[in-house]
Amino acid sequence: MNISITARHFKAPEPLKDFTRKEVERLTKYYDGIIDGEVILSWEKLTQIAEIKLKVYGQVLTAKEKSEDIRKSITLAVDKVERQLEKYKEKWNKKGNAKAALVVPEPLAQAV
């Protein structure tokens, strides 16, 4: 997964970028089909904002959180996207999609 981090109205220090990457990369344990991730960090007076956009197959999941601390905003936004990913994965598995139908079960794959 490619993660791009953009800081608006300030220059993000490297430890903040590392924290952001770690938080967003933990989403792969919920769904490994994430294509691309974009994080936008910004400031508005005393409020710090984190916006996360994840591209998954056929959809873009977005979360935006505001708080007094940028790390808290990032964590809250990741939690929100995590819930969206779980819902997306449920819907995807429930549909009986064509991609899942193409997967050959293990015993058959070894016999071939």
pLDDT value for 104: 47
Output the tens digit of pLDDT for each of the chain's 112 residues.
Answer: 789 999 998 898 999 999 999 999 998 888 888 889 999 999 988 899 999 999 988 889 999 999 999 999 999 999 999 999 989 888 877 766 555 444 445 554 455 4
End-to-end CA distance of the chain: 32
CA-based radius of gyration for the chain: 17
Residue type present at position 32: D
pLDDT value for 107: 56
Total tally of structural domains belonging to the chain: 1
Range of the structural domain that residue 50 is part of: 2-111
pLDDT value for 92: 77
- The CATH number of the domain holding residue 65 is 3.30.160.100
Those residues with Cβ within 8 angstroms of residue 107's Cβ, 6 or more apart along the chain or in another chain:
none
With b for 16 or more beta-carbon neighbours within 10 A and e for fewer, the 82-103 pattern comes to bebbeebeeebeeeeeeeeeee
**Token pair belonging to 103:** 């997967």
pLDDT value for 96: 61
Say whether pTM exceeds 0.85: no
